[in-house]
Amino acid sequence: MNSSSKHTYLYVSEDKTTWKKLFDIKDYPDQGNDPEQLETTTLSDTAHTYIEGLEANESKEFTLNYDLESYKSITELKGKEISVCLSFGENGELGQFVCTGYLTVGFIGKGVNEVREMKVTLTPTSQFELHEEIITVS
């Protein structure tokens, strides 16, 4: 079943029980991490050979429109390890993916006749995993 990106939300929780939406996102980053390739080639091989190494778990960037209240809400979380939920569908019925990490916020440079935007960066301490129970937002 195909679906559009309409009704995609980012929720946060400090205690993994109470979830809230701090802001509306404009986009979200690619998910999934390719493992490093560890080369095992020897001089008797006719082609390079590899084995699977660790998966990279790099920071994730989300874009949102600037507003002062959202900026303040995000900066209040700086330095706190929180849970983050990327939710697909109006009520999460298309999947909800949860990880933990740290949020930081910065501004995206702009020019004439452009909308002010912020970049929220998630530095993950775990990988996004499918959350089986629907998370409700307060």
What pTM was estimated for this model as a whole? 0.84
What region, left, alpha or beta, does residue 38 occupy, with left being phi > 0 and alpha being psi -120 to 50 degrees? beta
The CA-atom distances, in angstroms, between 96 and each of 78, 83, 106, 119 are 23, 12, 26, 22
Q: 5 with 91: CB under 8 angstroms?
A: no
Average of per-residue pLDDT across 100-106: 96
DSSP secondary-structure letter at 19?
A: B
51-78 b/e (C-beta count within 10 Å ≥ 16 → b) = eeeeeeeeebebebeeeeebbebbeebe
Q: 5 with 75: CB under 8 angstroms?
A: no
What integer pLDDT is reported at residue 13 of this predicted model? 94
Share of the chain above pLDDT 90, in %: 77
What integer pLDDT is reported at residue 69 of this predicted model? 92
- Higher-pLDDT residue of 57 and 118 is 118
- Higher-pLDDT residue of 55 and 115 is 115
Please give the mean pLDDT across all residues of the chain.
92
Each residue of 58-83: pLDDT tens digit? 899 999 999 999 999 999 999 999 99
Each residue of 12-40: pLDDT tens digit? 999 988 999 988 999 999 887 788 999 99
Average of per-residue pLDDT across 115-124: 95
φ, ψ dihedrals at 69, nearest 5°: -65, -45
